[in-house]
Amino acid sequence: MIYTALTDLWMGFGVALEPQNLMWCFIGVLIGNMVGVLPGMGPLATISILLPLTFGIKPVGAILMLAGVMYGAQYGGAICSILLNLPCHPPHAVTCLDGYPMTKQGRGGVALGVTVFASFVGASWGITEMIFLSPILVRVALQFGPAEICSLMLLGLLAGSTLARGSPLKGVAMTVLGLMIGIIGSDIETGAERFTFGLTELDDGVALVALALGLFGIAEFMNSVNQQADINTQYTNVKLRDMRPTKEDIRRSIGPMLRGTIVGSLCALIPGTGPTIASFVAYATEKKLSKTPEKFGTGMIEGVVCPETSTHSSVQGDFIPTMSLGIPGDAVMALLLGALMIQGIVPGPQLISQHPDIFWGLVASFWVGNILLVLLNVPLIGIWVKLLTIPYKFLYPSAMFFVCIGVYADNNDMFHVAEVLAIGMMGYVLLRLGFHPAPILLGFVLGPRFEENFRRAMLISRGDILVFVERPISAVFIALCTILIVGQLYFRLFSKKKPEDAVEQPLAAE
């Protein structure tokens, strides 16, 4: 078992180190890092904007590049949060708490230095987990029938929407809306056109790129235009030699790094609890364990290291259900899975055996990419820091162009540009009404497969809906769903706030 995993991994390194794939990985990390540093560009916006660039590349190269974009953007976001106190991505909200005070004390460089190392440690552990857990999970999942797949998807959808930020009820509403958007277009089985309103362009359904760019591009720009706080760049003059931590810093970082790794990987195993919750839990744990908890928030290096490690460890862990079961835990994973589907690859348990080059290549490229990230960030920090000073008034018009050309290039069709406009407008309305649009993407990506399996399960069971609770594995998933819903109701009725809100409250991240 372990032996096969290691030989497969060896093969994966062969794929990832092919000159062409290595180049795509490098380009992905570089561009992802560059765009992610820009204030106001989170990983979701970055991946959506860069997604169209990968259409011309072969599937392996494309997914390697997108994965590179993802962790590049993530690390770029950390730079932005530590130096400017601007978290563009929810998990980084916690990093700001101690990262920015460190910057104010002139130790921003050190914070960045340990963050590079912390994210590498966290990611490495997550990758190791992926190598050994995914094949086991696949072996179990290959036994699943339509009923099991269906209830597992239900669990994934519920967990992804209720455990994320904001009101769980609104999260579920967004998931249902996403499922509805996934229905638009012609039905797979009967070919009936649904909700196309006579527009033949909608026969193939709403384009993933248009949906992602509308929700995380246009809606986000409308939300932040002219609302940007003045960027304070007085502390951003970080040079390479400022990044070197002292012996004391290293000594203090080792414990939090290990604890962050454990917290992150545990959070990754619970479906739906992504990097955001992992980072909050990690910070809270670290504060509780510290001998000087009152000093947190004043620039403690532990408060930077622990959440960053756990974020990266949990993001890597999130790849396990995404790649081995085809069920993404959050919007970032849904976007990557959607990109694979655009390339014509069917996600699910059969992915690893049918496309071993993609899976093991991806695993190996995580390591390659993370090493590239370290190598890139140390010498290029000066350039990244310069990028922080680009004002938003130049940023969003340029990004608008990338949005338009990106959706156009998807199908060389102006209709998609109109589509992204409509989705963006709707996305902004939803934002203003207090919805978080991320679960829409989750529902959209899973929707068609959910419907297909639901129909199949019903056909096999001759229309008996009880099949979902009669088959043991499916019953376990349904039970977990019930626990999730009851738990949410319990928290709602008997305590005023969700547990992570207690940590989140003083942050006021958004």
Contacts with another protein by CB under 8 A lie at: 53, 56, 167, 169-170, 172-173, 176-177, 179-180, 183, 187, 189-190, 192, 194-195, 218, 221-222, 225-227, 392-394, 396-398, 400-401, 403-405, 408-409, 412, 414, 417-418, 420-421, 424-425, 428-430, 432-435, 451, 454-455, 458-459, 462-463, 465
The β-bridge partners of 193 are 186
Sequence-ordered list of residues with C-beta below 8 angstroms from that of 8, at least 6 positions apart, any chain: 356, 360
Closer CB to another protein, 397 or 499, in the complex: 397
Q: Which is nearer to another protein, 105 or 389 (CB)?
A: 389
Least distance in Å: CB of 407 to another protein?
9
Give 186's strand partners.
193
CB of 394 to another protein, least distance (A): 6
The separation between CA 329 and the C-alpha centre of its own chain, rounded to angstroms, equals: 8
Shortest reach from residue 189's CB to another protein, in Å: 7
Cβ burial 468-502 (10 Å sphere, 16+ → b, else e): beebebbbebbebbeebeeebeeeeeeeeebebee
Please state, in angstroms and rounded to a whole number, the distance separating the CA atoms of residues 144 and 349: 9
The nearer residue to another protein, 3 or 401, going by C-beta atoms, is 401
The encoded tokens of residue 255 equal 């414990």
Choice between 262 and 409, CB closer to another protein: 409
Burial (0-12, 13-18, 19+ Cβ within 10 Å), 72: buried
CA distance 305 to 277: 16
Give the shortest CB-126-to-another protein separation in angstroms.
33
3-class DSSP assignment, residue 244: coil
Written as one letter, the residue type at 415 is: F
Least Å distance, CB 169 to another protein, is 6
Nearer to another protein, 23 or 429 (CB): 429
Q: Positive or negative CA dihedral for 406, 409, 411, 417? A: positive
In whole angstroms, how close is the CB of 447 to another protein at the nearest point? 9
How far apart CA 91 and CA 509 sit, in angstroms, is 10
Q: What is the DSSP letter of 218?
A: I
166/299 with CB nearer another protein: 166
Task: Assess contact for 239 and 113: CB atoms under 8 A.
Answer: no
**Minimal distance, residue 105 CB to another protein, in Å:** 32
Nearest CB to another protein, comparing residues 108 and 447: 447
**Coil, strand or helix at 185:** strand
- Tell me whether residue 107 or residue 416 sits nearer to another protein (CB atom): 416
Cα(269)–Cα(278) distance, integer angstroms: 11
Question: 186-223 burial, b for 16+ CB within 10 Å, e for fewer?
Answer: eeeeeeebeebeeeeebeebbbbbbbbbbbbbbbbbbe
Question: From the CB of 459, what's the least distance to another protein, in Å?
Answer: 6
State both tokens at 57. 């590349």
Report the half-sphere exposure of 446 (CA within 13 A, side-chain side): 34
Residue placing its CB nearer to another protein in the complex, 14 or 185: 185
Q: How far is the CB of 374 from another protein (least distance, A)?
A: 28
Closest distance between another protein and the C-beta of residue 478, in Å? Answer: 16
Nearer to another protein, 218 or 484 (CB): 218
